[in-house]
Amino acid sequence: MNSLKLFLIFSKVSSLTIGGGYAMIPVIEDFLVKKDKILNEEEFLDIISKAQTVPGVIAINTAILLGYKLCGVPGAIAAILGSAVPPFIIVLIIASLFNKFSDNKIINGFFLGARVGVTVILSNLCLQLLIKYKKNKLSLVVTFMGALSIVFFHLPSVLILFVVAIIIIAMEKGKKYV
Amino acid sequence: MFNLFLSFLKIGFLAFGGGYGALSLIQDEIVQLNHWIDAETFLNLIAIAQITPGPIAINSATFVGYELYGILGSAVATLGVIIPSVFWLFLLEMIIKLLSKKIDVQKIFFILRLSTFSLIIAATLRIGISSIFSLFTIFLFLTAFLLLKIFKPSVIWIVLGCGGAGVIYSLFA
């Protein structure tokens, strides 16, 4: 495994997967664990859980950790470039076209529907998270109130992020988390 | 342009739970605080980020940067959102080495991710309120949600399918 190969693997993954970081994980696994057998399942899972623990773009976190593990600092840089450059170029092309066609009736119709599609995806994500965290009922109530205060009282998201975290820590002290 | 960089740096630093958790932060920074783009363009941008390959946060950074300052702007914003990852991962390794016996690092991050759920709900509500406002959009939402639950297609098909329905509706309505 060298840096160039890492760059190519991560460019393939990032230019083929649609739907963000979570969608990339199984594809990366396919390349590195199943096809090339560079990592075993356990090493891969360890990296994925670290990548999801810290803030930031999950795909980038994964790229940094895997690249560093396989080829050191040059590997990490190659993996970052591989996962950021192809989407960057694709979005640039779309953004430049977008301005030309933003008054078009068909394009506007498309976005009218596509935005509903985005709402569907997000609602489904909320439902899944609700199920995932269903044991922490009180925390969920606090979480929900936090969301309402962002939307209706226009409080900053950053503030709510930390206030909700502090309330949960205070409320469920000593409890076990899964 | 330095402000653009700082904004995306901040988004990267606070994006517990990945791109969807960052949506609410991105909306705060670029729509509410700085008025760089309006709410409707923001929603279109999120839709574009969903149907183009790549991480959502990177795609939004590229798009917003381009809208504001062209190619250089998109490079600056994308860099801003990437840099915090390096910092956090480095910090995580150090914390795990030094403190894993004294405090439960995993638990703290678990609570922060749970707390990020409120940002995801907020993003869903905000986007929902401005996207679903007519009989057609309510009907489309319910149909698409049902189809997603039954057939479990990839998210791109939901966005493209709803977009297609929107085109047909706008041509005939």
pLDDT tens across A45-67, in order? 778 778 877 888 888 998 999 99
What is the rounded average pLDDT for all residues in chain B? 86
| Three-state secondary structure call for residue A101 | helix
Both tokens of B75, joined, read 């490079």
pLDDT tens across B114-150, in order? 888 888 898 889 889 988 999 999 999 999 999 999 9
Q: Report pLDDT for B148.
A: 92
Phi, psi of A18 (to 5 degrees): -110, 140
Domain boundaries, chain B: 2-131, 133-173
For chain A, positions 67-106, list CB contacts with chain B under 8 A.
Answer: 80, 83-84, 86-88, 90-92, 94-96, 98, 105-106
Q: Report pLDDT for A175.
A: 62
Q: What is the mean pLDDT of residues A95-101?
A: 78
Burial of B46 by CB count in 10 Å (0-12 exposed, 13-18 middle, 19+ buried)? buried
Residue A116: is its pLDDT beyond 70?
yes
pLDDT tens across A144-177, in order? 999 999 899 988 888 888 899 899 888 877 665 5
Comparison of pLDDT for B152 and A24, the residue scoring more:
B152
Q: Measured on CA atoms in the order B38, B44, B45, B50, is the torsion positive or negative?
A: positive
pLDDT tens across B38-81, in order? 888 888 888 887 777 778 888 888 988 998 899 999 999 999 99
Q: Do B58 and A87 touch (CB under 8 A)?
A: yes
Report percent pLDDT > 70 for chain B: 97
Report percent pLDDT > 90 for chain B: 34
Phi, psi of B102 (to 5 degrees): -85, -45
CA distance A152 to A126: 18
Residue B14: is its pLDDT beyond 50?
yes
Q: Report pLDDT for A29.
A: 81
Q: Report pLDDT for A20.
A: 63
B39-51 helix and B105-131 helix, angle to the nearest 10 degrees: 120
Both tokens of B114, joined, read 């749970």
Is some CB atom of chain A closer than 8 A to the CB atom of B146?
no
pLDDT tens across A17-46, in order? 766 666 677 778 888 888 878 888 888 877
Comparison of pLDDT for B90 and B110, the residue scoring more:
B90
Residue B20: is its pLDDT beyond 80?
no
Is some CB atom of chain A closer than 8 A to the CB atom of B158?
yes
Chain B residues whose beta carbon lies within 8 Å of the beta carbon of residue A92 = 62, 66, 71, 74
Q: Do B24 and A111 touch (CB under 8 A)?
A: no
Residue B156: is its pLDDT beyond 80?
no
Mutation to test the B interface, candidates A120, A129, A153, A167, most B Cβ within 10 Å: A120
Q: Report pLDDT for A178.
A: 44
Domain boundaries, chain A: 3-101, 103-132, 134-178
Both tokens of A41, joined, read 């399942």
For chain B, positions 55-84, list CB contacts with chain A under 8 A.
Answer: 55-59, 62-63, 66-67, 71, 74-75, 78, 81-82, 84
Three-state SS across chain A? Answer: CCHHHHHHHHHHHHHHCECCHHHHHHHHHHHHHHHCCCCCHHHHHHHHHHHHHCCCCHHHHHHHHHHHHHHHHHHHHHHHHHHHHHHHHHHHHHHHHHHHHCCCHHHHHHHHHHHHHHHHHHHHHHHHHHHHCCCCHHHHHHHHHHHHHHHHCCCCHHHHHHHHHHHHHHHCCCCCCC
